[in-house]
Amino acid sequence: MQSLVISALLTILAAPRVRGFEPNTGSQLLVQAGSCSAFEFTTQPQYKFTYTLKLLSVAAAGCDRGQIRMTKFYIREACLKQRDNELGLNSYNTFTCPAATDSASSTCDAAFNLADANSLLTAGNATDLQSFDSGNVCATYGDRGFVYVKNNCFSPITVGLELDTSDYQGKLCLQVAGKSISGVGVAIIVVSALLALIVLSFLCCCCCRCLC
C-alpha cells in the first residue's frame, strides 16, 4: 500500500504543467506576402485571467520588420476599436462595435482598420524574447483570443509568439447570469441607471407641471 501511495505521488509530481493558453497550431504563424492572418489561442473555459504576450522571433528575409504590422491581444468578442478585454459586456460590444470573433482575413483587416494606436504596433517596435503586451481579461467568452498580423512585405514571413496566463490580478470580475462583468462594467451600469432615473424624474416633474 505504501509503495502504491509513493508511486501515485511521484506520478502527480512528474506530470507536465499545461499553460492556460496554447496556440492552435504551435507558437508560429506563416503569413503570405500581402496577407492578413491571426494567431488563435485557446484555453479551457474560463472568464478571468491575467496574460503576458511575448514576441519570440520574426523570420522575414529581405523585408523590413517595420512592414510587419501586429495587434495586441484581443479576447473573443472584444471591441476591435477599443480592445476592451476587461469590460466583459459582450452583448454591449455586439451591438455597438465590430468584435474580434474569429481569425478570418476579413476580421483581421477590420482590426487594422478600426483599432486605436494603443492596440497596434510593428515587429520593428517589438524586441525578440521580450513582452510587448500584458493585461487582464474579464470576458464571457474567455476561451479564445486572437493576435492579428498583417504582412506588407513582398515575401512570406513567419512570426513566433508566446502567450502566458496566470490568476486574475484585476480589481473585480464577476459572472452574473452567465455573463462576465468587470468593475468598469459595473460602474457603467450604475451610471447608466442613475442617468435614466434622473431623466425619468425630470419627465415626471414636467408632466406634473403640465397637468397642473
How many structural domains comprise the chain? Answer: 1
Give the C-alpha separation, 163 to 41, whole Å.
8
Whether residue 165 contacts residue 43, with contact meaning beta carbons closer than 8 Å, is answered with: yes
pLDDT recorded at residue 59: 95
pLDDT recorded at residue 91: 47
pLDDT recorded at residue 74: 95
Whether 139 is in a domain gets the answer yes
Low-confidence ranges of the chain (pLDDT < 50): 1-26, 91, 177-180, 182-184, 189-190
Helix/strand/coil percent split, the chain, to 5: 30, 35, 35
Stated pTM of the model: 0.72
Whether 198 is in a domain gets the answer yes
Whether 2 is in a domain gets the answer no
Whether 3 is in a domain gets the answer no
H/E run at residue 151: strand 144-151
pLDDT recorded at residue 208: 65
| 3-class secondary structure, 115 | coil
pLDDT recorded at residue 11: 35
pLDDT recorded at residue 47: 81
Q: Which domain holds residue 98?
A: 14-205
pLDDT recorded at residue 96: 75
Whether 169 is in a domain gets the answer yes
**3-class SS string, 157-195:** EEEEEEEEEECCCCCCEEEECCEEEEHHHHHHHHHHHHH
Whether 143 is in a domain gets the answer yes
Whether 4 is in a domain gets the answer no
Whether 156 is in a domain gets the answer yes
| DSSP designation for 140 | T
Among 120, 55, 138, 52, CA closest to 81: 120
